[in-house]
Amino acid sequence: MKPDRLLRAILIWTAVTFIIVWLPLVRGLMDGDSYQWGNEFFGKQFGGRGVHGDYWLLLTEAAFGLLLLYLGWRGARPPFHWLLLFWQILMAAQSCYNSFTSPEDYRFKGDTLGVDVSLAWVGPVLFGGFALLSIFWVVRDLRARHEKVMPKWNQTNLVFLSLVLGLIPQQFVLLHFGEQHGTRDQIGVILTMIQWISINLALFPWSKSERAAEVVERAE
């Protein structure tokens, strides 16, 4: 069964929030020590060079994100509801903390692509809004007690999965051998973002819904 519109919007937003994990995860692995990354969690700084420092934190966050999105796109079966609430509420709390404690420093930055956007007011609105939507969806879904069915994998899922794997050699060449913040580095970052989108498209239930199949069987 495909996610309803609200859950689909929540999952897309969740995927967007994990791009800040996927980019440094891939770049740290492929760029090596020439790539320095950093993040802040409730006032505490985390970071490193390449796969050193707090790289374990990126691995943990990426594993959690992949599990969360896998469960969400593939039938929203337990423990998806609680993992979703944990992430959305945590991100909303982090966003409000950043906005209130250091609004001038609360920004989304990407040196390679020249991105620098203030999140001082838009961050709490977006993260807080999607946290509330997630709570609403979880309460509604648990009350409905729908039978959870895992969608079948089909050829479209395999095509996108192949694309995810096929991008790895190009990413390595562009990121590892490209000049820091240069053209090849920028292309490598764009490919990494495309790869993350492709991961989510590979998880999406492209097969026909089981409900439609049941209708056909009854008609016969």
Domain containing residue 124: 5-219
Could you give the CA distance from residue 88 to residue 130 in angstroms, rounded to a whole number? Answer: 7
Residue type, 52: H
Could you give the number of structural domains in the chain?
Answer: 1
pLDDT tens-place string over residues 90-119:
999 999 998 998 888 888 777 777 777 888
pLDDT tens-place string over residues 71-83:
999 999 989 999 9
Residue type, 90: L
**pLDDT by residue for the chain (220 residues), tens digit each?**
678 999 999 999 999 999 999 999 999 999 988 899 988 887 788 899 999 999 999 999 999 999 999 999 999 998 999 999 999 999 999 999 989 988 888 887 777 777 778 888 888 999 999 999 999 999 999 998 777 888 899 999 999 999 999 999 999 999 999 887 788 999 999 999 999 999 999 999 997 644 444 433 344 4
Give the Å distances, CA to CA, from 141 to 49, 57, 133, 149, 209: 42, 31, 12, 14, 18
pTM for the structure as a whole: 0.87
The helix/strand/coil state of 45 is strand
CB atoms within 10 A of CB 82: 10
